[in-house]
Structure 1
């Protein structure tokens, strides 16, 4: 620590001794440098590159639209018909059973024969509505549930055959 003895005059000393302040700041800096990596813990995740691809629509696919109704509830549409959650489950189970019977049973099905669920969610729809629809369709037995979205202009990648 530095000590100033003055110039011999009886004037009051008006300089601030900054050494203790710098010592405290350096200690705090070291504490923060050690504490930050402990607080910030992340799992290394490699996120996929997003590329919009044209969706192939098969006749056995289920097309659902999910919006928010005027009263704040969820509105789910099977094609153009509004359904509630019970009716959605019943229709989904019946359609899946019919598709399985059409190919001759579960033993004759391969992954390409499985129908998919395509969900179109309105931008203002709460997540609970879309999440509930996904849960209902998975409960009915559909393993493939996907989302249909509108890509920004110029971001569509066309597959050439």
Structure 2
């Protein structure tokens, strides 16, 4: 903020506030920064040539279709779209997975809102008994 040191009105020692911005220091700082960046920019380029080897990685194939277990409020268990039961759940899952490794397969479980927790835990125990340890629970997205 500047001050007006001379001018009409008031006494000799009366100082008025000046609300105008002094732009000169700002321009000086910007010019100095511009010169610094102009000098430093050529130094940032890499001048050493290196011949890199080609990438060995092969493209990854699309992941296999996931396997879903659906549990209805009535207690019906579905593997994919096929009706199953707790007794045949392991065999039905192995049939749905096919030749893939059950240890690396992720099983998705979805349940009706009113499904009892005990029924859900029976399905989880059957999965673990048959060697399926990677389980994901699917919920409904509320964002609309």
TM-score, with structure 1 as normaliser:
0.45
Larger Cα Rg: Structure 1 or Structure 2?
2
Structure number with greater CO (CA < 8 Å, separation at least 6) is: 1
As a proportion of its length, which structure holds more helix? 1
